[in-house]
Chain A
Amino acid sequence: MSKEYKLQTPLTDEDVEKLRAGDKVLLSGLVYTARDAAHKKIVTALEKGEEPPFPLQGAVIYYVGPSPAPEGRPIGSAGPTTSYRMDSFAPYLHSLGVKASIGKGKRNQAVKDALQTHKGVYFGATGGAGALISQCIEKARVIAYEELGPEAVRVLKVRDFPLLVINDAFGGELYAMPRLPTT
Chain B
Amino acid sequence: MRQIDAASITDKVAEMVVRANVELPQDVLKALASALEEETSPAGREVLQQLLDNAALAKSTRLPLCQDTGLAVFFVELGNDCHVQGDLTEAINQGVRRGYKEGFLRKSACHPLTRANTGDNTPAIIHTDVVPGDGLTIRFMAKGGGSENMSRATMLTPAQGWKGIRDFVINRMAEAGPNPCPPTIVGVGIGGTFDQAPILAKKALFRPLDVPHPDPEIAAMEDELLAAINDLGIGPMGLGGKTTCLGVRINMAPCHIASLPLAVNVQCHSSRHLEVSIS
Does A150 contact B53, Cβ atoms closer than 8 Å? no
Asked if residues A104 and B104 are in contact (CB atoms below 8 Å), the reply is no
Give the size category of B's interface with A: 35 or more
Cβ distance B198 to chain A, nearest Cβ, rounded Å: 20
A65 at the interface (CB under 8 A from B): yes
Contact of A179 among B66, B145, B179, B233 (CB under 8 A): B233
CB-based contact A130/B64 at 8 Å: yes
Secondary structure call for the A interface: loop
CB contacts (< 8 Å) of A82 on chain B: these are 145-146, 149, 179-180
Question: Residue A91 at the B interface, CB < 8 A?
Answer: no
Q: Is B19 close to A, CB under 8 A? A: no
Contact A131-B63, Cβ < 8 Å, known A126-B47, A126-B50:
yes
CB under 8 Å from chain A, chain B span 26-45: 43
| Inter-chain contacts of A81 with B (CB < 8 A) | 67-68, 145-146
A122 to chain B, nearest CB (A): 12
Q: Across the interface, do B238 and A129 meet the contact criterion of CB distance under 8 Å?
A: no
A36 to B66 Cα, complex, angstroms: 18
In the complex, per-residue mask of B173-184: 1 if CB is within 8 Å of any chain A CB, else 0? 010011111000
Decide if B99 is an interface residue (CB 8 Å cutoff).
no
C-alpha spacing A164/B239, complex, angstroms: 10
Residues of B within 8 A of A149 (CB): 107, 117, 119
Shortest Cβ-Cβ A-B pairs, 10 listed: A176-B240, A105-B179, A127-B181, A178-B174, A77-B67, A67-B106, A132-B54, A131-B63, A130-B67, A178-B232
